[in-house]
Amino acid sequence: MFDPIEKLKEYVRHPSVSADSKFKDGMIGAQEFLRGLFTNLGFVVDVVPTALHPVIVAKRGVDPSWPHVIIYGHYDVQPPDPLKSWQTPPFEPIVLGNLIFGRGTADNKGPLMVHITAVARLLEKDPQLQLRITFVVEGEEEIGSKNFKYFLKENKHRLAGDLIYMSDNGILAPDQMVVTVGLRGMIAFEIELTGPKSDLHSGIHGGALMNPLQALVELSASLHASDGRVNIPGFYDKVMEPEPWERDQLKDAGLDEKKYGEFLGIKAFHMPPGYTPFEAVRFLPTLEFNGFSGGYQGEGAKTVIPSQASAKITCRLVPIQEPDNVKEMVFAVLRERCPKGVTLKITEQHYTAPYVVIPPGRSNTPKNQPLALANCFRALEKEAAEIWGKPLLYLREGGSVGLLSDLKELLGLDAVMMGLFLPDSNLHAPNENFDLDVMRKGIETSERVLASLAATSPK
Amino acid sequence: MFDPIEKLKEYVRHPSVSADSKFKDGMIGAQEFLRGLFTNLGFVVDVVPTALHPVIVAKRGVDPSWPHVIIYGHYDVQPPDPLKSWQTPPFEPIVLGNLIFGRGTADNKGPLMVHITAVARLLEKDPQLQLRITFVVEGEEEIGSKNFKYFLKENKHRLAGDLIYMSDNGILAPDQMVVTVGLRGMIAFEIELTGPKSDLHSGIHGGALMNPLQALVELSASLHASDGRVNIPGFYDKVMEPEPWERDQLKDAGLDEKKYGEFLGIKAFHMPPGYTPFEAVRFLPTLEFNGFSGGYQGEGAKTVIPSQASAKITCRLVPIQEPDNVKEMVFAVLRERCPKGVTLKITEQHYTAPYVVIPPGRSNTPKNQPLALANCFRALEKEAAEIWGKPLLYLREGGSVGLLSDLKELLGLDAVMMGLFLPDSNLHAPNENFDLDVMRKGIETSERVLASLAATSPK
């Protein structure tokens, strides 16, 4: 009998931090653990090298008439810092009450183990299960999945499935299944304004020239209107208005504005008119300043007019905004509004397209939606309602996961994203944990969903 | 024979940065250097403690019938940042061609060394020189001379002189002596805006709240009008219109706007209407951003909404604006205009009143001007014309030296400020330097001026 908790503990003990080369052994350990696990389950496993961390590909089932589900996960984890804030050692997983603690328990080792366990149980019951399954587990999700994109380009043939099935997203409460159906995209760039050729004494020269910091604030302040909207012509042109069913799902989630405000620690929300804060972070694009620098930042005062000032900026994008198009309009406005007397330099950093998938039977479901995808959504709806005690919610989220738009673009596949971690699972933070009751329900749900997909195979 | 260049090198090697406590050893080194130097010249030296950095007081001459000149200087220097922009190490002084490079060579170690050398030479020729001389060298000029003000209050009796004589000001060219007759005042403060109680993920929460960096740019951008004036009601109410002779002196200076623009490395000037850039920096107040911080400032991008953002701001003031009054109106406007959803904290740093002294024989010279002060101005006019080859210019300057208004207020003394650094001496910037030819002429001028003052003593 496959024991998911013992297997998860074993998996978490490998400190597979992708961002830091001193965890190389942990990365290799996690790869070998997965290789062994999938091999034992009867999968054909390939550890595919990339420019940095390999991708694990594990396949079973060869009959082309069977549905083919691609199960995505990542074996890399965030660095455990700050170590002193952990109440138990991050790489010594331990069960306390209903939770298992350890780095990666929630992001993404626990959720992946849910699907591995579901598959193990199905195969135990029926080794001839009529379902093609390909696990694709990458090792660079926490550092941007850059090499995973190259891997996808070069391995399209291995990944010609019917849908992506995965759990790298959250739920609202232990009794509320959430399926994520959209993520925002992003463009990231930096602007640098140069005025005088070197830093100047603000007494001797102040008053005769445009201070680059002043130019930066004037330029930056022009980017938002007083109503909270981004003040760039055309910015909202390709924003897909949420369908009424989407707003309804969000209302059904019963999110509490007062509690959210307290959680953030703010006195007031600030978003464009006509949207709740929960809607704004999911359905609207943003232009956000992530960091400013320029001039003196040390102790006390320094009377300087700096030569340069810069800002790091990201825009979150929503369907069907296109990163290239938004980039062009933002950059054009920056160049147009840049105050005289300073020179503007824009440095592009990276970008991610927004992603959305519409479940079957909705007002805006595409007519040509693939059958396997629709079947998976329907099975999940049915089983989640039974196992979790209430209907699942289809929600878009505010974050960005580039690989979804990459999978869509490169493989032509949409994803069914079954949420499994909780708001207090402490992702990317000390004392990361995974709820064992959620795990148990997740395994049961996943087992039934996959069985349901197998049942659509021609007998 | 006293070698001013070797002495200056020795002096500059002490990294006496007053703003940063990690330079404590450099501060003590500079104090001990001065104590030794003055003692060797026959002065009675006292290193007077203050709440932070001590003041060096060195006295010679006790006959109350002799004129008493108070020579002011400061031994502290600006931080050397950004270090990577220095072509030679900031605290390893080096002579290259006609210039000596190093932090403090021009501000204020070199100019003080000019007067020390003049005094050394006079005393070498005439150890019985009929002049009372008190050097007062403070250690907090670059951080606002706050404790020097307390020192003055408690040491009025030691400083009952006839005038202040000093060089912490600039000249226009190596052949043009300038006597500074006015300085701008200053208020320095920091604003800090706090939004959410901790840094937030800009994907998960972006769009629901006011980003403190956005609040900072909106608030900051409101502080200037598009014509370059400070956009704060009442800000210009107490600005003294310059006398015609003042504008004439500035015209006589023959300053070239094109060259000034090239020197600054800017494409266009930016100042309020009705003023040349040279007038604007002398006769008008400013509000200048000296540094911004907030959010991520490292390499690449980080998708964060920071909890806090801050700006360091200074206002330059002109006669007869009062710091307290300006501070109140600026702070009131900041509080009034602070965007909702963030909390504003204002931290006062220091302030300085503007200063002006009118030389003898001008349209607005006070009738009761002290004789020693008038004598010193006249001697300087005469000697400078001979040594520098053309008449000196009386100019107000844009910088701030708080102690001048303090000296005026607390000791009742005005100052004769003989300029010594050049426009390209890089004060407060990398590659600070001092012109050795100017140094030589300065020593000769100072020697003759002091001799001339001594000559007014009753025989």
**Shortest Cα–Cα distance, B284 to chain A (Å):** 7
Q: If DSSP states are collapsed to H, E and C, what string results for B41-95?
A: CCCEEEEECCCCCCEEEEEECCCCCCCEEEEEEECCECCCCCHHHCCCCCCCCEE
State the pLDDT at residue B300.
Answer: 80
Chain A residue numbers with beta carbons less than 8 Å from the beta carbon of B24 are none
**Shortest Cα–Cα distance, A198 to chain B (Å):** 8
In chain B, the largest separation of any two C-alpha atoms, in whole Å, equals 85
State the pLDDT at residue A178.
Answer: 97
Chain B residue numbers with beta carbons less than 8 Å from the beta carbon of A343 are 267
DSSP-H helix ranges across B81-194? 110-125, 146-154
Residue A431 amino acid letter: N
What phi and psi, each to the nearest 5 degrees, are found at residue B118?
A: -60, -45
Share of chain B above pLDDT 90, in %: 88
User: Alpha carbon of A28 to those of A51, A117, A143, A205, A340: distances in Å?
Assistant: 15, 22, 17, 59, 54
Nearest to B197 among A200, A265, A295 (CB): A265
User: What does the angle CA A323 – CA A272 – CA A404 come to, to the nearest 5 degrees?
Assistant: 30
Nearest to A198 among B210, B302, B429 (CB): B429
**Shortest Cα–Cα distance, A287 to chain B (Å):** 8
How many residues can be counted in chain B? 459
Ranges of chain A with pLDDT below 70: none
Nearest CA in chain A to B144: A301
Three-class SS state of A336? helix
Interface test mutation site (partner A, options B262, B290, B310, B313, max chain A beta carbons within 10 A): B290
User: Alpha carbon of B108 to those of B353, B425, B458: distances in Å?
Assistant: 21, 11, 34
d(CA B383, CA B387): 6
Chain A residue numbers with beta carbons less than 8 Å from the beta carbon of B214 are 220, 224, 288-289
Does A221 sit within 8 Å of B221, measured CB to CB? yes
pLDDT band at B401 (very low <50, low <70, confident <90, very high): confident
State the pLDDT at residue B184.
Answer: 95
Does the N-terminal peptide bond of residue B108 adopt cis geometry, omega within 30 degrees of 0?
A: yes
d(CA B387, CA B391): 10
Top-confidence residue, B267 or B402: B267
Q: What is the pLDDT of residues B290-344, one digit of tens each?
A: 999 999 888 887 889 999 999 999 999 999 999 999 999 999 999 999 999 999 9
Cβ partners under 8 Å of residue A231, min gap 6: A222, A223, A224, A225
Residue B352 in this model has a pLDDT that exceeds 90: no
Q: Which helix (H) or strand (E) holds A28?
A: helix A24-40
pLDDT band at B110 (very low <50, low <70, confident <90, very high): very high
Average pLDDT, chain B: 95
**Shortest Cα–Cα distance, B201 to chain A (Å):** 8
State the pLDDT at residue A188.
Answer: 95
**Shortest Cα–Cα distance, A363 to chain B (Å):** 26
Question: Which pair of tokens denotes residue A394?
Answer: 């289809």
pTM for this prediction = 0.83
State the pLDDT at residue A439.
Answer: 98
State the pLDDT at residue A215.
Answer: 97
Nearest CA in chain A to B298: A291
Interface test mutation site (partner B, options A304, A343, A349, A424, max chain B beta carbons within 10 A): A304
Q: What is the pLDDT of residues B305-319, one digit of tens each?
A: 999 999 999 999 999
Chain B residue numbers with beta carbons less than 8 Å from the beta carbon of A271 are 207-209
Residue B282 in this model has a pLDDT that exceeds 80: yes
This model of the complex carries an ipTM of 0.89
DSSP-H helix ranges across A253-322? 257-264, 277-283
Does A214 sit within 8 Å of B224, measured CB to CB? yes
User: Alpha carbon of A73 to those of A56, A92, A426, B41: distances in Å?
Assistant: 10, 21, 18, 79
State the pLDDT at residue B17.
Answer: 97
Q: What is the pLDDT of residues A56-87, one digit of tens each?
A: 999 999 999 999 999 999 999 999 988 999 99
What strands, in cross-sheet order, belong to the sheet with A433-435? A94-96, A99-101, A433-435
Residue B375 in this model has a pLDDT that exceeds 80: yes
d(CA B323, CA B315): 9
Nearest CA in chain A to B169: A204
Does B297 sit within 8 Å of A295, measured CB to CB? no
Question: Which pair of tokens denotes residue B185?
Answer: 């005042």
Nearest to A209 among B210, B266, B297 (CB): B266
Nearest to A289 among B82, B209, B295 (CB): B295
d(CA B110, CA B420): 9
State the pLDDT at residue A282.
Answer: 96
Chain B residue numbers with beta carbons less than 8 Å from the beta carbon of A299 are 19-21
Helical pair B212-221 and A212-221, crossing angle rounded to 10 deg: 110
d(CA A107, CA A113): 11
pLDDT band at B172 (very low <50, low <70, confident <90, very high): confident
Residue B459 in this model has a pLDDT that exceeds 80: no
State the pLDDT at residue B57.
Answer: 98
Asked whether B448 and B384 are in contact (CB, 8 A), the reply is: no
Least Cα distance to A33 among A101, A95, A100, A116 occurs for: A116
Nearest CA in chain B to A340: B268
Instruction: Tell me the residue ranges of DSSP E strands in A263-408.
Output: 286-295, 304-305, 308-317, 343-352, 355-356, 393-397
**Shortest Cα–Cα distance, B62 to chain A (Å):** 38
Return the residue matching tokens 């010609």: A160
Q: What is the pLDDT of residues B204-225, one digit of tens each?
A: 999 999 999 999 999 999 999 9
d(CA A3, CA A117): 8
Interface test mutation site (partner B, options A299, A303, A346, A426, max chain B beta carbons within 10 A): A303
State the pLDDT at residue A82.
Answer: 86
**Shortest Cα–Cα distance, A336 to chain B (Å):** 16
Chain B residue numbers with beta carbons less than 8 Å from the beta carbon of A199 are 82, 428-430
**Shortest Cα–Cα distance, A282 to chain B (Å):** 8
State the pLDDT at residue B1.
Answer: 79
Residue B373 in this model has a pLDDT that exceeds 90: yes
Question: Which pair of tokens denotes residue A265?
Answer: 């620690």
Instruction: Please report the number of interchain residue pairs, chain A to chain B, with beta-carbon separation below 8 angstroms.
Output: 302
Top-confidence residue, B458 or B77: B77
Chain B residue numbers with beta carbons less than 8 Å from the beta carbon of A311 are 213
